[in-house]
Structure formats: C-alpha cells, structure tokens
Structure 1
Amino acid sequence: MAVGASLRLLAALLLTLPGFAQSFMPNSFFFWTLSHRDITQIAILRKTAEVCRDVAAAEGRSFTLEITDTLTVNKVQMACSVPLPNFPISSEMFQAAINSVHDSSDALLTPDPAFHFHSEAFLTGRGLITQGLSALKASVKEQNFQSARNTLGRICHTLQDFYSHSNWVELGRAAPYSALIRPDQPLENLAGPDVPTCRSCAGLSCKDNILPAVLEKGLLTSGYYSAESPAKPAGKCSHGGIYDQTSRTEPTGGINKDTDSSSHGQLHRTAADLAVDATVDLLEDIRLAIGDRTFLRLMDISQAPALVFVVDTTGSMGDDIAYVKTVTAMIIDERRGTPIEPFEYILVPFNDPEFGPVTRTTDADEMNTKINSLTPRGGGDLPEMSMSGLRLALTAAPPSSLIFLFTDATAKDASLKNAVTALIETTKSKVFPILTNVLARRRRRAVVPSNQLYLDLAQASGGLAIEIFKSEISVATAIIESLSVGAVVTVLQAAVDPGTPRNFTFLVDTTLSYILIYITGDSSLTFTLTSSTGVSQSSSESRGSLGLISTAGNLWVL
C-alpha cells in the first residue's frame, strides 16, 4: 500500500472515533495541522518564557530568549535556568508537567456538548471553564499541582474547541473571546434556539453554508453533533464529518475547523492561532491569581525536585536522630538561595504502629524546625513501619521527588512492597534508603534480617540503598548529594547476584560534563574500571588514572 493511501486509511480510522472526530486533530497523523497538544504546548512555552523574563528582570538578570511560537521545551528551560557549575540543565521535569496537561486533554472524550461547545452550549461550556479555573486555583492553593495540571488540560481542551466548533472565526473576530474565562462578562449575541443558522452545503463545498443574516447580525452559533442520532433543531448548523450523524440532516454539512480538510478547513489555521492566543490568556489569568513563582512551580520549570524525608522515630534510632537532623539540615541549607532550591519540602515520620502525619512546606526554616522537633520513642521490636511511611510519602509528594528514608531497622510491613513499587513507577520519584548501624549489627548477630527490600526499592526507583555506621551518615549523604538535582542522568543501572562476575559497558559522549560511578555491595566486593582507551583502575586504588575512589559503608564512588 502506498504511503499516501496508508495515511488516508489511518485518518479515516481516527475520524470514526468519537473523541478524535470532535477535536483539533492529533498531529501524529495530521502533521499539516495543529492539534490540541500543539496549541497547548505553544501557549505554555510562550507564557512560561514571559514569566521567566519578568522574574529575571525583577532579579536584575538578563533574559535573551526571543519569545515566539517556535519555542522548544529545551530552549525555555535553558532560558529560565541559572547555570551552576557541574550541574547540567535538564528539561525533563518541565516536559513531564506539559505531558500531564496533554494527557488530561487527550482523555476528554465525553460526547457532552458543553465540553466541546457543540450544539450552541455556550453557557454550560463557559461554566465548565470558569468552574475549572476555580478548581485549578484551589488545587494550587493546596499545593496539589498534579491535580491542577490535570484540570488545566481539560480546561484547555474545551476552551480551544470553541474556536474550531463555533462561528467566531467566520464572524471575523481577530481576538479571543475574553468572556469565556470571565464569569462576570455576559455572553452576547447568542443565536436563539429557534433561529436558523445554516443552509446545506453546495456539493462538497461548505465554505458559505452559514446564513448571511447570521453573519450580518454577528450571531454566535456552533455546530450540532451526534454520533448516534441525525436529529437536530430545524435550520441549525452541524459539526460535520463522517461520524457526525446530524450533518446528514438538512441543512447538511458542517462548520468545524478541526483540520484543514474539515468542513471549514480553510479556516483551520486561523482558528488554531486564536486558540493559542486564548490559551495564553487563560494562563495569564492563572499567573495573576497564583503569582509568578507559583506559576513556574505549576509548570515544574525548577531544576530541583521536591525534597522528602521519611524518618524512623522509634526508640532504637536513639543517637541516630541527631545525625538525621544534621544531614537533612545540610541537604536543605546547601540549596538555599540557589536555582536548585526546592519548591517544596515534605516530612513523614514513622513509628510503630503509627506513621505520619505528612508535613509539607515551602519554607526551609520551617522544615528544619519540624525535623529538629523529632524525638525517638516507642517501638519495642526491631522491624518498623517503614513501608507505610514510604507509601504515605509517595502518595503525598509530587512526581519526580527525591526521597530520603532514614531507618535502622527492617520493615515490619514488607507486604506493602508491591504497592510502594507501583507508586514509585507512577511518580518517577527516586528513593534513597539510608540504613544506619546495619554493619555493626551484622557483627553482633549471627542471623540478620535481610535489607533486600530496601535494595529492591532503590533499584526500582533509580536511587541507592546505603548501609552505613551512624558516624558515616554525613559522608554518605554528601556523596549522594550530587544525585539530588533533576539534571542528573542515569546512563547505566544494573544489579547482579553476589559472587557472580559480570562485565558492564556504558557509552558516554560530549553532552556529559562529568561522570560519577556508584557501586554498592558488601566488604568483599572488588571491581575494575576500564576506559575505552584501555586504561584500568582497580577498586583497591583510591587514587588512580581514571579518578578518585571513596567509600562509605557499602558504597563505593568513583
């Protein structure tokens, strides 16, 4: 089958799906048109760049990026970031936030006319937008940014559909309809339910099917749509397309501008451009309501993930709590006033049998105060409720968080492993269990409960499980400090059975500014590193041709 025929077949298949038949088409197949994803991304990049420009001006920094519709995620991330030595800039978190908005928009497949401004449902459609805006702002106030992004996707979809499904463009309007996001403004010149708005298309052309009287009076209408019934009010326009049953009823045809081959496809780009401008206006409304810094947090433009501390507060921790306080303070304080300062800190203590509550704040001093107030108590038996604490943290934390788990015991609630692993996979958060005094206990006891659970969870998340003496906590945490920014990229991660020799190969290129190799294992572990030029360095050489090797507990770092 020829490529052109294949494309037409795929297009036809998509057009038979209710969701795709009533939206700006996805550009994966209709690459010559703008989809909801294109429109939303253009608007988000424009508005985010504008906010970063204004923040930079307020801080006395330069901002040289030209703000156009051709921006990319990487360009905006670079322009919004302040470079730091040894910390490359990554747009991974920013792109993930945009994808969350996209996914929510794509999921809006309901046939309800209000969600797509079909069937002249202007009042209810506007209500969905304004109510959604209120819900979004409430979610932001509660620091539930993922929920806010989901709501934003749905709002964007409905708002953008107005420009494709109504006759706003045909009326010659050159600016977005501000009343759609302003409940205090009236919706004017709506065509009444008994007012005819269309005539049947002439042959294959629907270019002039809106009645001249409607255009002359500036009446606002939209096409009726149904995948099941051809019924519609007499004289009313239809959406159009092969899946719209109403388009077969007089007056036939449609007025949608979803693609350039739609009923009014000649106006597709005009409608899409207006949808971009309308989405920018929507984002500006959100920005004014929540502030510049919070807007950037909504878009996850920060280079720093949220910092989450899950801390064992049972009596067995004893002196370890003091070290935990020192280490967490170091992690927090080193980020103060820098571009990698987190937008949010979260603390989840766990005891036995209690765990929680969740403390979340944007204030570093408040988090330090909360951690300093922790007091070891209770417990009794050695296994503790660490998985319950970790599950609560993963549920409360935003995606891509960095989670430090401090404990000196195995998990009493190991049955939660699958649930915790699923949350790790969903949130893309990294977990770093720091297990204190484990090595000392191994020397004192013939039988030691396995810490394999912590190792497995660290492996699943892309983190590290570190077993150390309490005196080494600060050393170990300083080592993994370099992993706690979003710009670090994992080139290779692997696990092997103890005692099984293995060779691992990984490739590097000029995009990597520096390389850190982390290896965990017991004291009998040995390894040799060999470069592509044949230069080698063994684990017994702390200073060699390939770098410096340092150790802390079960961790080697090159």
Structure 2
Amino acid sequence: MDNIQNVKIIIFSSSSFIIMIIMSTKWSFLLLLAVPLALIGPTQSFKPLFVFNGNSISHREITTRAVLRKTAEVCQSIAAAARRDFSLTIDDSLTAERVHKACSSSRKSASLMSSVYFYGSIAYIYLSNANVDLMYALSDKHHFDSETFQKGRDLITQGVSAVKASVKLENFIAGRSTLGQLCHTLQDFYSHSNWVELGYTHPYNVLIKPDKPLENLAGPNVPTCRNCAGKNCNNNLLPDVLEKRLLTSGYFNIISSEKPEGKCSHGGCLDQTSKQDPVGGINKDDIRSSHGSLHNQSANLAVIATMQLLEDIRLAVGEKNFLRLMGLSQSSVLCFVIDTTGSMRDDIAQAKTVAFNIIDSKRGTLQEPSGYILVPFNDPGMQCFGPLLTTTDTDIFKERIEHLTSSGGGDDPELSLSGLQLALTAAPPLSEIFVFTDAPAKDAHLKSTITALIESTKSVVTFLLTDVLSSRRKRSLQDVLPRVVSQTDVQLYRDLARASGGQAIEVSKSDLAVATSVIEDSSGSAMVTIFQGVRNPGKPAHFTFNVDGSLTNVTIYITGTSSLTFNLISSTGISQSSSESSGPLASLKLAGNLRRLRLNNVSETGLWKISVDSYDLYSVKVTGQSPVNFIYNLVEAYEGLHADFFLKEGRPLSGGKATLLVTVTGSESVNVTEVTLCDSSSQTKVNGTLQALGGSNFLVTFIEIPTGDFVVRLRGEDRSLSSRSAPSRFQRQASTQMKTSSISLTAEANSTNIEPGSTTSIRFTVTSTASGVGKFNVRATNDRSFDSTSPSSITIKADSRGKGNGTVTLTVPDNAASGTDVTITIEVEDAAATDINYVVLRFSVTAKLTDVNGPVCQEVSTSTNCSSSSLCYSSQWEFVANVTDGVTGTGIERVTIREGNGTLNTTTVVGSGGENITVASYQASCCADKVELSVVDNVGNVGICLGQVRQSTTVAPVSPANVTIYTTSTGGHTLSTTLCVWITVVTLPLWK
C-alpha cells in the first residue's frame, strides 16, 4: 500500500454517491470507485481538526495540549532559574491565553501583551498536522498502517532533524510546518497500533530515537487477529500477540480487500481489508471505532509522546529558540527593506535613527521587537538585493544597518520587489514591513507574486516613498540625468500597500523624519487595526469605528492629496476639524500625503465617526494597542476518507462558499456577534454564519462571496473590557485583503523536505468556474533563486474533465545548508490577465541523516565536602564528566545546565583516537545536591548527564556503579561507560 502514496484522488459528489477518480503515476491506471455517501463517517486517523459531536479528541486538540503543556514547562524552568514565581497549574485545561500571560516576565504590563503570534503559531502547527490527512491520505507510513513501523519511524526522525536544522537557521515557519506533519504520524501510532492494548501506559520512546532498534515486531507471517464477534471487536487481538507483547498495526485499503493472512485490519466502513477474515479492525480513532473504548487512553498517550518529542527539540535548540518556534513573543519583528542607491543617503540615515530609537527605548521591555530583519537592494546593473539578515541580537542589527552605505544609482529602477520578496518569506506571519525607496520597481513583474505572499502571510507592507513625484529627481553624488517617476510607477506601491493594509507614504526627504513616526507607532506590542477603508476613486464619505476600554494609543492615519479635509467626532459628540493641529480630541502631524492623528485619550469609549471630503484617492486607517485581537485562516470542507476541514491555500472561488476558522485572542470572555467580509472601497458587505467551537474559536461560513476584494471585520462583546455591568463592544479588522478568483489551483509535492543536490516535483491542477476551457498563463518563482522549471501555460481542453495539469520542478544546490527554507509561489492567470490564483509552498532543505548517535558521557569524579550534619550552604561539591561525540560524530556544540543552580565550565582535549573530548566541570552548593547537564552535538542529537552528591568527604572512585547517566533525544541512547581509565588520568589534571 505504501507504494501508492503519490496517488491523486479527485472527488465528485452527488446527493447519494461520491465518485473518486484514483490516478497513480506509478501504476499507470485509472479507477473509478463509487462510494455511498452514507458510508462516509469514521476516518482513518484521529479526527484532523474538529469533532462536532461526541467526546472524541482530534489531532488539533492533541497537538494544542502538548504545545501548551510543554511551553508552560519551559517557562516554568526559566522562571525557576531566574528565581521568579510561576503560578500556573500545568495540565490539559491550559489555554493559550493563560500560558502566554504566565510566560511573560513582567505582570505589570500585562494589559499590553499580545498573544496573537502564539495563537497563530499553534494554529499553523495543527493545520500542518491536519493536512497530512489530505496530502498523504493513502500513505501507510504516514499513519503507521499495515505494520510500516520502520518507515513511519524514519519519517519522524528525519522530520525532527529537519525541524532542528530549520530552527538553527532561524527558519521558524518552515520548522512549524515540518513539526506539525511529523506530529501527525507520531500521534497516529497510538491510535493505529496495538501499543495501548499491550498494556503500555507510557509512550514508545524508540519512535524518536533512530539509533534504537524497533523490537518485538510481529513478523510478516505472524497472525495477529481473529474475527470480531459481530460488531464487538474488543477481543479480536490473538492471545499469543498479547502474551508475547508483539507490536502490530492494522492494514488499510479502500480499493482491495487483500491483506496478509491472519493480519489485523484498521477497520471502518472504507477499509476493504476489514471485510476479509479476520474481519473487523483495531483502530482507536474515535469513541465509535473498532477499539473506541481505548480512544481516550490512546489520545492521552499521543499527547505525552508529542510532549517528549517537543522536549527533545527544546534540548537541541535551547529554551529561547524553542519559545520562538512556538511563537511565544509579545511583539512583531522590525523589518526594513532599504534602497541603497546613491540618492538614498538621507533615507538610510533616517532609517538608522528610527531603528536605533526603537532598539534603545524598548530594550528589555514587552515593547521590544521579537526580532530584526534587514534586506538592502540596489540597481539591476549591480544584480543586488540582499543579503538577508534575520537576527534577535540588537547589536548585530545595529552594526549591519550602521554599515549600510548609498552607492551606485543612475536612472535605472531598482529591485525593490525582489528585496520585498525576501522579507516576506523570512518574516513571521502578521509582520509589518517597511520599504524605503525613491525609485520605481525594475522587477514590477513580481507584483502578483508579492500580492500572493502578502495574502498568504497576512503581513502589512508600508512604503516610505521620498521625492517620487518631484519634477527633478536628484541622485546624490551622482552625475546623472534627472528622472520623473510616473503615476503608474507609484501606483504599483499603492496597490501593494492597499492589498496588505499598509500605506504608501509619499514625502519629501526633508519630511521623512515626521513620516517615520508610523514605524515607531507600529513597533509596539499588541498593535491592532480597528478600522481601515479606501476610496478609489475618491468621494466624500463617513466612516465609523468603535473604541473599547482595552484600547490605548489610538492613532488615525489619513493619506490623500493636499486638498483633502476631514472632521473627527467622538462618541460624546465633540468634534475636531482638519484645520486644528492640536484640538480637543487629537494632535495632528502632517508629512507629505500623510496626516497622523493621535487621540489625546480614549476615555470616551463607544462609536466614533470621521468624515472625509476629497474626490481624489485616499485611505483611512485606525490603529491602537490592545490585547484583544483575532486571527483567521481560510479552510475548506472535504468529504470522503477524512471528512473535515483543511487549510486552503490561495483565494476562495467567486460566487462560492467560503469558511474561515476564526480565533479571538486576548480574552476568554468574548462573545463574537458578527464576522463580515467588507469591500474596503465601497459599501459591499457579506455576513457570515457563526458556529462556536469552544474557547475563543469559531467557524464562520459565507454562503456566496461576490467577485471583489474584501477584508475580514469582527465585532463582539466582552465583559472584561468594561467596568460597567453591560459588556463593552469591540471592533477589529484584518489588515490584509482577501481576493476572490474564478480559477481553482491545487498543488502537491512528494515531500516538503528536500536534500541538497536533489530535485523535487510539484504537481498542480487548474480548473476554472468562469470559462471552463481555455489557456492559462503559469508563473513559478522561488525566493532563493534556485533552479526551477515550469510550463509557461496550461490549456484546459473540452475532453479533459475541466482540468489542466502541470508540473513545477525545484532543484536544490549541492552546497545548500541544511535548515535552509525555500518558498515557491505558483501563479495561474487567465488569458485576459484579469483573474489570478496562486499557491504558496514552503520547503526545508534537509541533509540526509547520518549521525544518529547522541553524545556519550563518562563520569570522571564526584568530589564533595557535603555531610549530613553540616549546613548545606557552607559546603561545595563538584561533578566532572567527559563528553564525546566520537571520531565519526559531528562534534559537541554545547553543554548546558538543564537542572541545577551551580556553575559550569568546559574545556576541550583530544583523545587517543582523535576524538575531541569536552571536559565538563560543575560546582554547586551542597544545598543543591543534583545536576542534570544537557549535551548537544552539531546536528541536534541530545545526551543528558546526571550527577548527584555522595555523602562523603573523599573523592569518589570512577566506577560504573557510581554513574547515573542517560540520554533522551532523536539521536540519543543510553550513555556509554566504556571510556578508558587513561582519559580520567589525562583530563582530571588538565581540569585542575
């Protein structure tokens, strides 16, 4: 069954049947299979996302519980090391909101904390987890079906290695995607195998340890099951299997009933093998499954196993990077994309000033950016954009931006969109990116690619355009002809800004300092968009927005021509006109086409109004700081093998149904009253139907979406935002536009992990609800400039069942570093160039796993002056151990204290076999009588050394009987005690 993992299933539904067209490039046949809809029910794994009835537990719940518990444990460990209180009970009742607040190092500014990035990261992990059931529905190894234990374990260990490599290079988005996928396979083991039936109450650790053998597997000719007694399958495992504790899993096939004689089946109405002796199944996917009485037990083991996997990653990457992988930050990254041509000297200087002000004023506070990204770009003649810098080290960012210089120039446009593409793929979702330039884009052909990345990441892009409409555009220190930037050139930046919910601020270089106040405004934590609207073409309009009790620093931005006027009216009827720079409601600053109003105070909660009078293009944006926000993801319902909702890439179909998974953050007492799709440039509004999923999660269904551009607007009530008995009304708006399309585009790849020097293929399918047949243009780009091939067009013919197929290839260079991520965007456009859809796929470059052995640790000595009668704080003890990764290993990267509050020193010596030996010496007060050291090699294999005080005043002899050491990791194993005595003789004097 495993050899058809690349099968493609096309599903057509009718009132009573689903017709599945199953195509395999390996088997070269076409099979039509009619499945009654009445049979579509139990799935082939834990339910991917939602359980709408019953008490079953889904992959989403398993993953969320494990992430929350492990994140809380890491925060608890950090708090203990810093001797801070951590008052949070760690169990399955945790919520993201509670974990996020408890993990904050400062309770004083809790009101300004934003948990939106944490929620978003968890959602990305569990949506990637769920999509395994869509991408690899019939792959045995992805679900541990048909006794594919070795292949399933390989998927997990290779995936863990890929996550560690991604995190090492700070590619957290790719790391989350891979993490979600491998968690699915790990979790399915406990539902699809007989591990629980064998009486085990702990996870099978070998699944995350590639150097450990898989033992006690039922052989290929060993019978494992007997027929179920009618519908009762509780006793269908053979007594001999239970007595010998033989490990097996159910066979599964939706086409053939063939299976090895005497073997167990997965079970369920779609599993044809369960109809052949021995009939029935052993899966525990939900409480109605063949072994459904063990569903909760297997789900709880899946939670613990996922936590163990997360713990291994935590030890390998360190606590700080682990929390970044989980998205635990209070603020967004500070991301600059800067034109470095000759005329940009003043702009670069201002960018430095703003960046340094933000860094220096917010360092060590909740307002401090969670990371820094810098992408320079220049003239095409210099073939220059990048290199990309992404870091959390403020000093590194300061140094790199300090050394930016303006050079080159001339009349050529610059590679601004190529630089922006790098930033969009490197920055976390929901980031705000600032582009500094005074020139048009040479690479305007990337506009649709940039728009797709904006929609996919929901990032906000603001352009700071200096002197772009000057009649004479001067290049500093350059003897070149002047150039006039056309309205078409500027409109490109305006269009991208509008698509993202950002702004195109057009100022003179002398006004740039005022305009960059937008950057400082947006760099704080818990920034939210309350309202945003555009009028193009311009016309007088009235806009209303709700100010709630959680908001602070409310700011209004208006962009438009100099003739624009406005009038602001508070909820109590007080007004202020555009002629008042310092009025009763707000202070006003002008810079080019930007008007910035900062409200004096927000005590006047309720409905505010702003009236704008202009017949030219203008925009209005209202922002503030509040913990209450929301995230959303476009999901799509699928019938068939895994009837559930799955993450949908690209744009929803015009005139079709659309479903959003909406999560409100920052409060656990929210009542969402309305979610709408609003055309930001007109009065068009589409209301959604809400379905509460528990907590702050909602499914929102829109029956029919008209053609156009929309933003998601949410309104609700929250008693925690009001001191009165009546709840406070709040309003939030997503920044990024959602566009519709009549083109449907789906894509699939064999794997999202690619080895250096290899080529992967991405197959895609195009359909059109508008034309049905015809020619469609195809573009495929990637952000790493790796070699790629793709067709330039696809033709849907009348006899092709309304579909057109194509393949994109991507080749990774031999020298690509493991952990590198690459984002490929595939776009399909109609022949008239009026409609487009896209998919965005992320791949991780992962070198083949060769070093699977963890570091080996040997205790050298444990000397102590501790005694049972002495005061512990007046005495010290010391523990010395030798750590090596062997001659063929990748080497020790670091040794850290996992538990213990003493001091650790390390030195390196060379052993007789040529291996590097790290000598770790730990000293502590006798009040802390244990130590646990974490040892990590250069590919992330982890070992753990344990040391403990002996009640003696002499140096303990080196003896295996005195050693308590072990490892736990993807590459770990029981730590060896086979190092020779001469190592002790050599290294102990060196240490002393």
- Aligned position for 2:503: 464
Matched, 1:29 2:82: no
With over 3 angstroms needed to count, the CA separation of the structure-2 counterparts of 1:544 and 1:85, relative to structure 1, is: farther
- Residues 49 and 130 of structure 2 are in contact (CA less than 8 Å); yes or no, is this contact kept in structure 1? no
- The normalised TM-score by structure 2 is 0.53
Which of 429, 449, 452 is residue 486 of structure 2 equivalent to?
449
Residue among 331, 335, 349 paired with 1:304: 331
Residue 204 of structure 1 deviates from its aligned partner by 1.0
Select 1:375's aligned residue among 405, 427, 432. 405
The amino acid of 1:102's aligned partner reads: Y
Alignment match, 1:487: 526
1:59–1:549 distance in 2 versus 1, CA, 3 Å: farther
| Aligned partner (choices 507, 523, 526) of residue 562 of structure 2 | 523
Which residue of 90, 94, 100 corresponds with 2:118?
A: 94
Contact 2:431 2:459 (C-alpha < 8 Å) held by counterparts: yes
Residues 60 and 540 of structure 1: CA distance in aligned 2, closer, same or farther (over 3 Å): farther
Normalising by the residue count of structure 1, what TM-score does the alignment of the two structures yield?
A: 0.92
Name the counterpart of 1:182: 209
CA contact (8 A) 1:130 1:182 kept: yes
- Counterpart of 1:45 (choices 37, 52, 68) is 68
Distance 2:107 2:514 in 1: 26
Change (3 A) 1:255 1:266: same
CA distance in 2, matches of 1:308, 1:479: 13
How do 1:131-142 and structure 2 match up within 5 A?
131-142=158-169
Most deviating of 292-301 and 303-312: 303-312
For 1:283-309, what per-residue CA distance to the aligned partner results, in whole angstroms no more than 9, with x for missing partners? 111111111110110011112222221
Structure 1's 31 and 72: CA in aligned 2 closer, same or farther, altered over 3 A?
farther
Partner residue of 2:244? 217
Q: In terms of mean alpha carbon deviation, does 515-524 or 477-486 score higher?
A: 477-486
Deviates more, 1:422-431 or 1:411-420: 411-420
Letter in 2 for 1:529: L
- Pick closer, same or farther for the CA change 1:374–1:341 going to 2, 3 Å: same
CA contact (8 A) 2:128 2:180 kept: yes
Higher mean alpha-carbon deviation, 231-240 vs 380-389, is at: 380-389
List per-residue Cα deviations over 1:448-481 (Å, max 9, x = no partner).
5222322222222122222223333333323432
Which residue matches 1:236?
263
Greater Cα offset, 62-71 or 443-452: 443-452
Residue in 1 that maps onto 2:322: 295
Aligned identity (percent) is 58
Superposed displacement of residue 84, structure 1: 6.8
Q: Are the aligned partners of 1:442 and 1:448 in contact in 2 as well (CA < 8 Å)?
A: no
Query: 1:194 — aligned with what?
Result: 221
Q: How does 1:268-347 map to 2 (within 5 A)?
A: 268-347=295-374
Moved more, 262-271 or 513-522: 513-522
The answer to whether the Cα contact below 8 Å between 2:183 and 2:306 also exists between their aligned partners in 1 is yes
Single out whichever of 75-84 and 38-47 deviates more from structure 2: 75-84
Are 2:149 and 1:122 equivalent residues in the alignment? Answer: yes
What is the correspondence of 1:307-456 to structure 2 with a 5 Å cutoff? Answer: 307-353=334-380, 354=383, 355-381=385-411, 383-438=413-468, 449-450=486-487, 451-456=490-495
Could you say what secondary structure the match of 1:516 adopts?
A: strand
Query: Which has the higher mean CA deviation after the structures are superposed, 545-554 or 35-44?
Result: 545-554
Change in Cα spacing, 1:374 to 1:513, as seen in structure 2 (3 Å) is: closer
- Answer yes or no: is the 8 Å Cα contact 2:330–2:370 preserved in 1: no
1:3 aligned residue: none
Whether contact under 8 Å (2:440, 2:485) holds in the other structure is no
Alignment deviations for residues 195-221 of structure 1 (CA, whole Å, 9 cap, x no partner): 211110001111111111211121111
- Asked whether the equivalents of residues 46 and 69 of structure 1 are also in contact (C-alpha less than 8 Å), the reply is yes
Q: Which residue is 2:95 aligned to? A: 72
Q: Which residue of 2 aligns with 1:267?
A: 294
Residue aligning to 1:537? 576
Letter in 2 for 1:90: S
User: Paired residue for 1:5?
Assistant: none
Report if aligned partners of 1:14, 1:21 keep a CA contact under 8 Å in 2.
Answer: no
Distance 2:63 2:538 in 1: 52
Quote the Cα distance in structure 2 between the aligned partners of 1:163 and 1:30.
22
Change (3 A) 1:105 1:48: same
Q: Which amino acid aligns with 1:373?
A: H
- Structure 2: how far apart are the matches of 1:314 and 1:205? 75
Tell me whether 277-286 or 106-115 shows the greater mean CA deviation: 106-115
Are 2:569 and 2:575, in contact at CA under 8 Å, matched by a contact in 1? yes
Counterpart in the other structure of 2:815: none
Q: Is the 8 A contact 2:368 2:524 kept in 1?
A: no
Find the aligned partners of 2:251 and 2:494 in 1 and give their Cα distance. Answer: 58
Q: Is the alpha carbon distance of 1:15 and 1:103 closer, same or farther for their aligned partners in structure 2, counting shifts above 3 Å?
A: farther
* Higher deviation after alignment, 338-347 or 286-295: 338-347
Q: Which among 58, 64, 80 is matched to residue 81 of structure 2? A: 58
Q: In 2, distance between residues paired with 1:97 and 1:165?
A: 28
**AA at the equivalent of 2:121:** A
1:83-109 CA distances to partner (integer Å, 9 max, x unpaired)? 575973222211221122122211213
The whole-number CA distance in structure 2 between the counterparts of 1:497 and 1:205 is 66
Whichever residue aligns with residue 423 of structure 2, its letter is A
The structure with the largest helix share of the pair is: 1
Further displaced range: 355-364 or 488-497: 355-364
Partner of 2:197: 170
Indicate if the aligned counterparts of 1:313 and 1:350 stay in contact, CA closer than 8 A.
yes
Residue 547 of structure 1 corresponds to which residue in structure 2?
586
Question: Match of 2:600?
Answer: none
Does the 8 Å contact 1:384/1:411 carry over to 2?
yes
Deviates more, 1:239-248 or 1:418-427: 418-427
On the 8 A contact 1:87/1:488 being kept in 2, the answer is: no
SS in structure 1 opposite 2:303?
helix
Counterpart residue identity of residue 61, structure 1: R
Residue 25 of structure 1 contacts residue 34 of structure 1 at CA under 8 Å; is this kept in 2? no
**SS of equivalent to 1:381:** coil
| 1:352 CA displacement | 0.9
Q: Deviations over 1:499-549 (max 9, x none)?
A: 521101112322324422111222222100112222111111222222222
- State the alpha-carbon separation in 2 of the partners of residues 114 and 137 from structure 1: 22
Give the counterpart letter for 1:53 in structure 2.
Q
Q: Which sits farther off after the overlay, 500-509 or 440-449?
A: 440-449
**Deviation of the 1:396 alpha carbon:** 3.0
- Answer yes or no: is the 8 Å Cα contact 2:347–2:512 preserved in 1: no
Asked whether the 8 Å contact 2:112–2:525 carries over to 1, the reply is no
- CA gap 1:409/1:15 in 2 versus in 1, 3 angstroms: farther
Contact kept in structure 2, 1:25 and 1:259, CA below 8 Å: no
Q: Which has the higher strand share?
A: 2
Aligned partner of residue 590 in structure 2, secondary structure = strand
Q: Please, which runs of 5 or more residues in structure 2 have no aligned partner?
A: 1-16, 19-35, 475-481, 598-992
State whether residues 379 and 412 of structure 2, in contact with CA within 8 Å, keep that contact through their aligned partners in structure 1.
no
Distance (Å, rounded) in 2 between the aligned partners of 1:403 and 1:415: 20
Q: Which has the higher relative contact order, 1 or 2, with Cα contacts under 8 A spaced 6 or more apart?
A: 1
Corresponding residue to 1:108 among 103, 119, 132: 132
Q: Secondary structure at the match of 1:341?
A: coil
State the AA in 2 paired with 1:516: T
Distance in 1 (alpha carbons) for counterparts of 2:473 and 2:578: 23
What is the rounded CA distance, in whole Å, between the counterparts of 2:44 and 2:500 in structure 1?
Answer: 39
Question: CA–CA distance in 1 between the matches of 2:171 and 2:38?
Answer: 34
Alpha-carbon deviation of 1:323? 2.2
